[in-house]
Amino acid sequence: MVGGVVNPADEHSGATGVGRRPGQGGTAQLGALGLNAVDAGLPDSVLRVLEGVEAALRDDVASADPFVTEAARHLLDAGGKRFRPLLVALGAQFGDPTRAQVVPAAVVVELTHLATLYHDDVMDEAPVRRGAPSANSRWTNSVAILVGDYLFARAADISADLGTEAVRLQARTFARLVHGQIAETVGPRPGVDPVAHHLHVIAEKTGSLIATSARFGGLFGGADPRYVAALAGYGETIGVAFQLSDDLLDIASESERSGKTPGTDLREGVPTLPVLYALASDDADASSLRLREILAAGPVTDDDLHAEALGLLRESPAMKRARETVRSRAEDARVQLAPLPQGPARRVLESLCDHIADRTG
């Protein structure tokens, strides 16, 4: 999953905002993230950036080859929360959000994210993405990989128009995404704590691009360098917290609130934080012992065992500890905002911390 970040719910979201009334698309995206544009007092410039991104994305993925255009727009048309463009738009509020470079900067990070999703689905053999057939299942793995490569190239092309610093930052972010995927694929080396390895993978695969998104907003909005650094630190930390909270939702949700059937990661043997905490636990109560016995066997594919493990995990000390980790990371992200001036944009960034801390119970 090269850079397969953020949240499963993001990839099952609906409309793109194309063809909507001004402001409607951006407001819907904020609502999907647990925010309210009116209550937050957000300037219209944030919504204008999001609308500009939607329009630009369709143009920027177009190719002289109609098939490439169709395949490149496949996930774009399926929608998404546009979390990364939102952070660009919010970061730009600490400078001048009307600068012409802000929308292209947001397009760069979203195209990079979309590219990783095409590659993710090949590695995961995923049949569905954002509620639609994945590109690899609709066409082939080769097509999905090449379309992902095409989107990376388009992002790099737009970065070049933004200047050398944008190219350097985008390239370094891509390198971190790849390093994170390699680390996940290889697994923890002998003597490396699996939890520490897991958190490192998430920081590389998820935190890196979200950090760049927030940094791009401040940088291309012309914000004070102190604000740009604070935004980058916030983005890295909130990105890790958001991914961890999504992993908890996969266990905690009684419905498909998480964007996929609860316990999917457990069934597929994906090592999420609660599972790693449970496996590392030395709790000797009957429930903890039974949970470790089930988890140690690998992917839990048997329906009865899966239901039992899911129930045990939900009530386990490991789940409580994982929730505390998410809250701690969300609070760490809030601390990163200290250098930023008070105002609507900062309040929204703080609200994201609250939303992530509260969404897993």
Output the tens digit of pLDDT for each of the chain's 361 residues: 433 333 333 433 333 333 333 344 455 555 655 555 444 567 788 989 999 999 898 888 888 888 788 777 777 777 677 899 999 999 999 999 999 999 999 999 999 998 888 777 676 665 655 556 666 667 777 888 888 888 999 999 999 999 999 999 999 999 999 999 999 989 999 999 999 999 999 999 999 999 999 999 999 999 999 999 999 999 999 999 999 998 898 888 765 444 457 788 888 888 899 999 999 998 889 999 999 999 998 888 899 999 999 999 999 999 999 999 999 999 999 999 999 999 999 999 999 999 998 887 6
Query: Can you read off the two tokens belonging to residue 9?
Result: 């719910």
φ, ψ (nearest 5 deg) of residue 129: -145, 125
91, 105, 93, 129: which is closest to 52 by C-alpha?
105
Q: How many helices (H) and strands (E) does the chain have?
A: 18, 2
- Kindly report the pTM of this predicted structure: 0.85
d(CA 207, CA 142): 28
CB atoms within 10 A of CB 241: 27
- For 26-56, b/e burial (b = at least 16 CB within 10 A) is bbbbbebbebebeebebbebbbbbbbbbbeb
345, 355, 339: which is closest to 96 by C-alpha?
345
For residue 128, the cross-strand partners are 133
φ, ψ (nearest 5 deg) of residue 265: -60, -40
Domains in the chain, CATH or no CATH each: 8-358 (1.10.600.10)
Residue 133, helix vs strand vs coil: strand
E strand map for the chain: 128-129, 132-133
Query: Can you read off the two tokens belonging to residue 95?
Result: 């400078």
Q: Looking at residue 125, what is its pLDDT?
A: 62
